[in-house]
Structure formats: C-alpha cells, structure tokens
C-alpha cells in the first residue's frame, strides 16, 4: 500500500515541520528543483468548462523525482496559477491524500516545478488520479483540473 513517508523515529514536532515544509513546496513560486524533468510523459492539455460560457485552459505536466525515502510527485503548470489544494488517489489500492496549500494566494509560475509530496511504493505502470483546484493568476477564473496519470 502506498503511504506517506514519515520518519517514525523523529519527534512529533519534526514530523509536523517536515509535512509543513513539503506542503509549503506546493505554494512556492519558484520551487525549481535541480533534477532533470522527464519530457516523455506530458499530459494532454484540456479545456475545463466552469459551468458558464467561459473556458479555462490549464494543464499540468507530471513527473517523479527521487526523495529521501520514496518518490516525489512533481507538477508543472502550463499557466501562472494559484493553487488551493491537490487531491491524489491511487484507486488500485484505495489510497487518497489531500494536500492543502498553506498560501493559496501565492502565484505559481508557468512551467515551474511544484513538489506535491513524497510517497513510497511507487512503480512504473501505476495509474494515479490528481485533481488540482485553483485559479488562473491572470484572470482569477477558478479551475478544477483532473489528471489521469500513468507512472513511467
């Protein structure tokens, strides 16, 4: 089963600090990391209808990077956005996680890397569902973007 990586030997404060820092990484405007991005797994751009006549186009390209004990999920937005939260699920094992952005007003720059969270047990071929909630920075229009992602 997929579980969040938590160092069981650390004090409660250290665990809370680690979780806060990882969540803050989601909100960081320039959370660029040094590892190279895999460009062979882009997600097809989509158009989201927000219930009216206006359409919001935003896409997130996903890839993985090595963490301290698992793999870090990385997302890159196609537009400048403000994210409120990301919901992740791995339906094959009934795993769900919600990452709330502690700074939802921060602008996350187009094509920057967002560290969502670190997970163990990640293998190629797994099918994950990620739902991004936020607004376009340029217009303030809300979006909900669902990504069906197969780990490569």
Instruction: Specify the pLDDT at position 142.
Output: 97
**Which residues is 127 bridged to in the sheet?**
150
Mean pLDDT, residues 18-29 taken together: 44
The CA distance from 128 to 113, in Å, is 19
> Per-residue pLDDT for 96 more than 60?
yes
SS3 52: coil
The CA distance from 110 to 29, in Å, is 9
Residue 1 within a domain:
no
Sign of CA dihedral 108, 112, 115, 121: positive
Print the domain residue range for 145.
12-35+46-150
Of residues 114 and 8, more confidence is placed in 114
Kindly report the CATH number assigned to the domain that includes residue 128: 2.60.40.10
Residue 136 within a domain:
yes
> Number of structural domains, the chain?
1
Neighbours of 5 (CB within 10 A): 17
Mean pLDDT, residues 12-21 taken together: 49
Residue 40 within a domain:
no
Residue 66 within a domain:
yes
Strand 60-66 and strand 81-90: the pairing is unpaired
Instruction: Specify the pLDDT at position 19.
Output: 52
Residue 143 within a domain:
yes
Mean pLDDT, residues 53-65 taken together: 85
Residue 3 within a domain:
no
**Which residues is 86 bridged to in the sheet?**
99, 132
């Amino acid at each position: 089963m997929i579980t969040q990586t938590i160092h069981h030997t650390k004090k409660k404060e250290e665990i809370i600090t680690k979780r806060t820092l990882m969540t803050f990484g989601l909100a960081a405007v320039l959370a660029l990391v040094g590892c190279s991005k895999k460009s062979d797994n882009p997600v097809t751009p989509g158009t989201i209808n927000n219930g009216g006549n206006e359409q919001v186009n935003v896409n997130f390209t996903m890839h993985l990077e090595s963490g301290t004990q698992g793999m870090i999920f990385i997302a890159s937005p196609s537009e400048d956005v403000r994210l409120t939260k990301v919901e992740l699920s791995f339906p094959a094992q009934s795993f769900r996680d919600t990452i709330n952005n502690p700074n939802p007003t921060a602008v996350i720059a187009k094509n920057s890397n967002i560290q969502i969270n670190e997970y163990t047990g990640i293998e190629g071929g797994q099918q994950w569902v990620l739902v991004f909630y936020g607004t376009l920075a340029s217009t303030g229009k809300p979006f909900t973007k669902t990504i069906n992602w197969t780990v490569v």
